Amino acid sequence: MGMVWANFCNIFLLSALSLGLLSTACAPPVPQQSYVRECILPEDQAGTISGRWPIPEVPVAFFQPHLPMFLEREITAMVSAAETWNKFYGSTRGFDLVNIGTQSQPLTANISRPDAPCSQDGLIMHGRYEAPVMLYMATNWPYKESGQQDIIALTSFCFTPEQPINRFYMAMLEFNYQYFFQDGTKQPDVESIMLHELGHLIGLDHSCEGSPKPGMPNCSQGNIDRDYLDAILYPIIQFPDGVNGEARRSLRRNDMGRANCLYDPAE
Chain residues that interact with Zn ion, rule: CB under 5 A:
9-11
The Cα–Cα gap between 49 and 40 comes to 12
Between 6 and 109, name the residue whose CB sits nearer to Zn ion. 6
Minimum separation from the CB atom of position 260 to Zn ion (A): 19
The Cα–Cα gap between 170 and 225 comes to 32
Given its phi and psi angles, is residue 65 left (phi above 0), alpha (psi -120 to 50 degrees) or beta? alpha
Minimum separation from the CB atom of position 192 to Zn ion (A): 12
- Give CA 1 to chain center in angstroms: 26
Minimum separation from the CB atom of position 10 to Zn ion (A): 5
Between 21 and 55, name the residue whose CB sits nearer to Zn ion. 21
The Cα–Cα gap between 99 and 121 comes to 27
Between 137 and 194, name the residue whose CB sits nearer to Zn ion. 194
Minimum separation from the CB atom of position 197 to Zn ion (A): 7
Minimum separation from the CB atom of position 205 to Zn ion (A): 8
Between 7 and 103, name the residue whose CB sits nearer to Zn ion. 7
Between 119 and 152, name the residue whose CB sits nearer to Zn ion. 152
Minimum separation from the CB atom of position 153 to Zn ion (A): 8
Q: In sequence order, which residues have a C-beta less than 8 Å from that of residue 82 and are 6 or more positions away?
A: 60, 98, 100, 194, 198
The Cα–Cα gap between 215 and 212 comes to 8
- Give CA 177 to chain center in angstroms: 16
Between 90 and 215, name the residue whose CB sits nearer to Zn ion. 215
Give burial (CB, 10 Å; 0-12/13-18/19+) of 74.
Answer: middle
